[in-house]
Structure 1
């Protein structure tokens, strides 16, 4: 890739950066997920800095309410895809770099393929289902993740899945193991956000990307930084790996693609009874319970006890059929059955007794009736 020496002259003059640092930027591939309030400054600064390949994922179109904080767009862009408007301006800002657009919604079905082709990911989304999906995919693919979030007058920045002083790689789940209950999630549309705040936080995310690529400075690995626009106060808290979270993350690509993150983040799983193998067998033998396998059809091992098969993907459309008072769910590893139990608890409340098999049918392999 050829470069314009004058364009990056200030980088070349920087001690510990210079030509070598600029070349690392030009060879880097960075995926930015979300082209909104955070994504706009991230993209502008990374493009201007000479990041060789920028991928942009966003399926949304520009609306009038975006213009208060999303500075890549103008009134003339209203109704057009954000990724296309952003790409047009970024190419004018720096025609030397490659811009790849994905005008689609990131889902568990396409996340693996899109994230796999990049060196690192910048999370500029504004919802929990996307954050957990991005985190889990980055953990499985071993991709550094630069996180940012804004709310009212405060913003947060962190860097996940990067080795630091210890050998462990901390991820978003070490900070927030599971999604909050739906009634605990703040509504940004109602609470609002100061228009300049995403610019500040996005700029910090872009800085962390540049530091990671070039090796300069010290990244926010293992720390969450919070910044207030009202007072200019900032503080960092340490993120630790004291509590294991690997059991909350899908084991592989196949399980990731079967995880319905929008459902996971729509229903609380707090208070659901978890059964170990002995308790599971005792419960299904002593009680008149409805036993439900929420795996997709054809998954093995097959269950050798009476049950019904209702895949998690079709669970909500089958709720009217669940007439028994006691319902026990199971899946391959316990992750999907826990989410299914949350859906049932949200729907039935205390009307039914709902439980699930912890660690899934795999935990039954050394247990017999």
Structure 2
């Protein structure tokens, strides 16, 4: 990234605290002004990243975001406000950035990042920042960044723990590593809960997002040593940091093309025969007729405490994976499994079918379908 023209008097006044720092100075500030940084997602991590990049004077900030602001976002996604609920996240983030720094150009990419558009979007920027919360998008960002020849900052959060690293396949001096060197294979579907399923401590997003913004600014200005080849792990409960090294994995295949990442990571539900699914309305009709159905909730305890179907019992998904669930299920009545969206219940159902419980079914669309089609008073999360 070049430095461009000299800073104006107004810029000197605004960024004076940067100009005083050895390793940043006027040269680094000019690089920030010339930099084009793309942030994937304006959510928990994207929020603090976007605000600190804007405050730092990054000249062009891109935002890839197609979702809308929900009330549940406000606990951690500080770039949005109550007045933005129901509006596009990208529009809300753009307004917040402009309110903080009118000198920043904001490019909102109102699309779902996919194998069809990722590389073309990435090539418009110098640096990518990935704050997404699902494995399919993380592998997509990694592979697209490698094909576009771009470095990227990665962050992840779950409950009270966060992780940050820098990946750059084409890094000089043989330091090139990518996300597949850390995770050669995606986890089994349902084995790693998302933040929507397992929760996240709101202030953790600020800590990890600030670390991600720090790495991005360091990469642009050339200050310090980047987290390339290292993963920083933060535990908010113990207030501890530790760093682990990353080496090129012998299992990680060369990245030559983009694939279907939903299939790779098992985002789509485990295939279920039509006769083994039941819709929310059909289940409600069955219960209203007084049919004796064993409703089995496979979600985590925190989800169970928020809301549940009437008369349900909880047998967590992990027990289906280990086989312990078989001894806890009724044998004298029909079984219907459910989760939040139908992904985990479909996977648990497959385990039951493998064990010979062929009559078991699952609720298509999960408790979200129940709320949409049967009982809108049930709490959502």
What is the TM-score with the length of structure 2 in the denominator?
Answer: 0.67
Q: 2:238 aligns with which of 214, 231, 241?
A: 231
Post-superposition shift, 1:89?
1.3
Post-superposition shift, 1:246?
2.9
**Does residue 130 of structure 1 match 2:132?**
no
**Does residue 47 of structure 1 match 2:54?**
yes
**Does residue 139 of structure 1 match 2:146?**
yes
Q: 1:184 aligns with which of 187, 191, 198?
A: 191
Residue equivalent to 2:81: 74
Aligned-residue Cα RMSD (Å) equals: 2.2
Count residues in correspondence. Answer: 267
CA deviations on 1:45-103 (whole Å, 9 max, x unpaired) are 00000001000001110000000001111111000001101111111111111100011
Q: 1:107 aligns with which of 111, 114, 118?
A: 114
Post-superposition shift, 1:15?
1.6
Q: SS of the counterpart of 1:106?
A: coil
Superposed counterparts of 1:192-231, under 5 Å:
192-231=199-238
Q: SS of the counterpart of 1:100?
A: strand
Change (3 A) 1:223 1:62: same
Residue equivalent to 2:293: none
Post-superposition shift, 1:243?
1.4
Distance, in Å, in 2 between the alignment partners of 1:160 and 1:140 is 13
Post-superposition shift, 1:229?
1.1
Distance, in Å, in 2 between the alignment partners of 1:38 and 1:264 is 24
CA deviations on 1:205-253 (whole Å, 9 max, x unpaired) are 0000000011111110101111011111110111011414234x3x1xx
Distance, in Å, in 1 between the alignment partners of 2:24 and 2:137 is 34
8 Å contact 2:175–2:228 — kept in the other structure?
no
8 Å contact 1:181–1:267 — kept in the other structure?
no
Distance, in Å, in 2 between the alignment partners of 1:136 and 1:242 is 15
What is the TM-score with the length of structure 1 in the denominator?
Answer: 0.69
Residue equivalent to 1:261: 261
8 Å contact 1:60–1:82 — kept in the other structure?
yes
Distance, in Å, in 2 between the alignment partners of 1:156 and 1:218 is 17
Post-superposition shift, 1:183?
2.9
Unmatched tracts of structure 1, length 5 or more:
269-342, 352-369
Residue equivalent to 1:278: none
Post-superposition shift, 1:168?
4.0
**Does residue 160 of structure 1 match 2:160?**
no
